[in-house]
Amino acid sequence: MSSENDLLSAAERKAALARLDGWSESEGRDAITKRFRFTDFSESFGFMARVALVSEKSDHHPEWFNVYNKVDVTLSTHEAGGVTRKDIALAEAMEAIAATA
Asked whether 46 and 40 are in contact (CB, 8 A), the reply is: no
Look at strands 24-25 and 70-75 and give their pairing: unpaired
Q: Which residues are catalytic?
A: 56, 60-61, 78-79, 87
Asked whether 73 and 34 are in contact (CB, 8 A), the reply is: yes
Taking alpha carbons only, the member of 88, 72, 68 closest to residue 80 is 88
Residue 84 CA, chain-centre distance (Å), reads 11
